[in-house]
Amino acid sequence: MTSGQHTPPRASLATWPTPLEPAPRLAHALGLGADDLWIKRDDLIGLGGGGNKVRKLEWLCGAAVADGATVLVTTGASQSNHARLTAAAGARLGLDVVLVLAGSSGSSSSGNLALDGLFGARVVWAGEGDAGTLATAAEHVAQRLRREGAVPALIPFGGSSPVGARGYVECARELLLQAPELNTVVTALGSGGTMAGLVAGLSPDRVLGVHCGAVPSPATTVSALATPLTDTPCPPPALRIRLDQVGAGYGTLTEPVMSALTLAARTEGLVLDPIYTGRALAGLTAAVESGDITPGQRTVLLHSGGLPGLFGHPPTLARAEEGLTDG
Ligand SMILES: *Cc1c(COP(=O)(O)O)cnc(C)c1O
């Protein structure tokens, strides 16, 4: 930030930096050297069960509070980690929270949804539909809240706007201090803000995004979010994005992801989730197999959280229990 420029407000929601830990047994299993692979533990962020959305919410909630907001409104899937962490951030800051979720009431209250209830969030069910349907429903909710005398702040889908993505420019700064020689950070790519901030803070060639199927055009989405944050050009073709881990769609469990979950758990005692971090490791595995990531390079896998989502995904839990063997 150049001096004289207005510094955007930031809410304090956690303690920084998060740890960077070696993963020598996982590295070996992937065919990398013991010192080649490190895990950035953003799952250990202290607020609300942890995860990458907290970094974005520090900037998004900072802006909301500066604008005099009394209630945060956001959107997501019923098992949205972002919705859960918005609920936690609201609790921490003394703001009401309304979550506009895809689906209908009667969806099971496990995983993230159970935590939404614990944090005291109100839920509006928007039925089945795409991101546009959810955004329209959120706009209607905001209008109703205004009529009731509240001051709503709309937090974007996944917390991904150039303001929210600043959180990952900060994460890039932490990584450059913790691992100055890093070659590639591997991250799951959902709504795009996480990869965008990392790209802006590191450069496009040092970030590998693994598309999870949450947005229709991941490269265009990330490019649009990163461009306002950096002088380095990040047009869509400059971005390193793997499109091969989506499988049958965003919410589904794939075999490479199930293998990745099992491998991380059995080599490092590390729990990944089926939607995001499992895809990130499956994509990293494929990148090593294809020679895009090679031994001797320093690679960081971003653990972006998502553990509650594992407990809201019955097919993955059933597969995990199959791993129990008689003693
Ligand atoms: C949202 C999310 C991501 C993806 O981050 P985006 O900024 O939306 O691309 C990755 N991992 C977890 C656990 C998430 O909840």
Residues 6+ apart with CB under 8 A from 277: 43, 188, 303, 304, 305, 306
Choose which residue among 40, 52, 79 to substitute to test ligand 1 binding: the one with the highest number of ligand atoms within 8 A of its C-beta: 52
pLDDT in tens, 250-286: 999 999 999 999 999 999 999 999 999 999 999 999 9
Residue ranges and CATH numbers for the domains of the chain are: 20-51+161-321 (3.40.50.1100), 53-159 (3.40.50.1100)
Q: Which atom of ligand 1 is nearest to the CA of 56?
A: 7
- For the Cβ of 79 lying below 6 angstroms from any atom of ligand 1, the answer is no
| DSSP secondary structure letters along 116-132 | HHHTT-EEEE-BS--HH
Q: Output the CA 146–ligand 1 centroid distance in Å.
A: 30
Q: Over the Cα atoms of the chain, what is R_g?
A: 19
CB 245 within 8 A of CB 253: no
pLDDT in tens, 112-164: 999 999 999 999 999 987 888 999 999 999 999 999 999 999 999 999 999 99
Whole-number Å distance between alpha carbons of 320 and 313? 11
Q: Output the CA 255–ligand 1 centroid distance in Å.
A: 20
pLDDT in tens, 199-257: 999 999 999 999 999 999 999 999 999 999 999 999 999 999 999 999 999 999 999 99
Choose which residue among 81, 116, 242 to substitute to test ligand 1 binding: the one with the highest number of ligand atoms within 8 A of its C-beta: 81
Question: What is the SS3 assignment for 4-44?
Answer: CCCCCCCCCCCCCCCCEEECHHHHHHHCCCCCCEEEEEHHH
| pTM, 2 dp | 0.97
Q: Output the CA 157–ligand 1 centroid distance in Å.
A: 11
